[in-house]
A and B are shown apart, each in its own frame.
Chain A
């Protein structure tokens, strides 16, 4: 992999390639198997989307800790207005676990409550969907890096 190719791929995914990824992609570049390269770059990529949820979702995805989580919110809501109103939104099925602020608060809650971190992680995952890199995007950046086309 040339520095230009590596830079192009890293620009596409907005992060550095790992050593394993570089080794795997090196095997695919001579043939320019861009479909396989895109699959490697897509591994584990997710994006969040607006996902309003209610009590039912909390109980389902956080089981068996959902009830405990709601109780914790109710308790904390007595002294924290933000949590109080967040609980209202859960009751109204409008609590958006895809919203950046919501996610930051849930992650902070998980950090402060390690025994519930896994359950909170499951709740956060509700708003996550796969975010694969299309092979044509790989082709386009590699073609420019290799001087095959100018767009």
Chain B
């Protein structure tokens, strides 16, 4: 069989290797790197985000850490405004948390991600602080024909 549709992942990039603590109802930028589909993603339109972090006290089950994007260079060199807790700029998706204190690796598939953007994590009502040391990875991906 050939030419069937398959997922084609690109090279994983670290957007944040060790983020500062994020208390409930605040947000923080994954500020180690931005992500560009041109320079980082082989022009693949989609991406898989993986957030790994811990809570010292178990968060409320099934509440969310939300991923926002701040698109960059959208009008020449002008960027969109940075997200706020009350305004996401560009909503990407959510990571639903487990009510545990062990490390959680959470995955989020996103389609048609911004061409170039900074990414932010909003601790949206978990009730607890996401401990310092969290990590955010992105892997470009697309669907194409098998060889």
Interface residue from A31, A33, A35, A149 paired with B25 (Cβ < 8 Å)? A149
What CA separation (Å) do A149 and B114 show in the bound complex?
Answer: 25
Given known pairs A149-B84, A149-B85, A151-B86, the reply for A35 and B23 (CB within 8 Å) is: no
B89 within 8 A of A: no
CB proximity to B under 8 Å, residues A114-151: 135-136, 139-140, 142-143, 148-149, 151
Sort chain A's interface into a size bin.
10 to 19
What CA separation (Å) do A64 and B87 show in the bound complex?
Answer: 58
Q: Which residue of A lies closest to B26 (CB)?
A: A148
Provide 29 A-B residue pairs closer than 8 Å at the C-beta atoms, listed in order of the A residue.
A31-B56, A31-B129, A32-B23, A32-B128, A32-B129, A33-B56, A33-B57, A33-B129, A34-B23, A34-B24, A35-B57, A35-B127, A35-B128, A135-B24, A135-B127, A136-B24, A136-B125, A136-B127, A139-B23, A139-B25, A139-B26, A142-B23, A143-B23, A143-B25, A148-B23, A148-B26, A149-B26, A149-B84, A151-B85
- Complex interface: chain A residues within 8 A of B128 (CB): 31-35
Query: In the complex, how many angstroms separate the beta carbon of B73 from the nearest chain A beta carbon?
Result: 27
- Complex interface: chain B residues within 8 A of A149 (CB): 25-26, 84-85
Number of residue pairs A-B, CB distance < 8 angstroms: 48
Q: Which residue of A lies closest to B129 (CB)?
A: A32
A residues neighboring B (CB under 8 Å): 31-36, 135-136, 139-140, 142-143, 148-149, 151
- Taking a contact as CB atoms under 8 Å apart, the answer to whether A140 and B23 are in contact is no
- Complex interface: chain A residues within 8 A of B25 (CB): 136, 139-140, 143, 149
- Complex interface: chain B residues within 8 A of A34 (CB): 23-24, 127-128
Q: Which residue of B lies closest to A138 (CB)?
A: B24
Query: In the complex, how many angstroms separate the beta carbon of B20 from the nearest chain A beta carbon?
Result: 11
Q: Which residue of A lies closest to B27 (CB)?
A: A149
B12 within 8 A of A: no
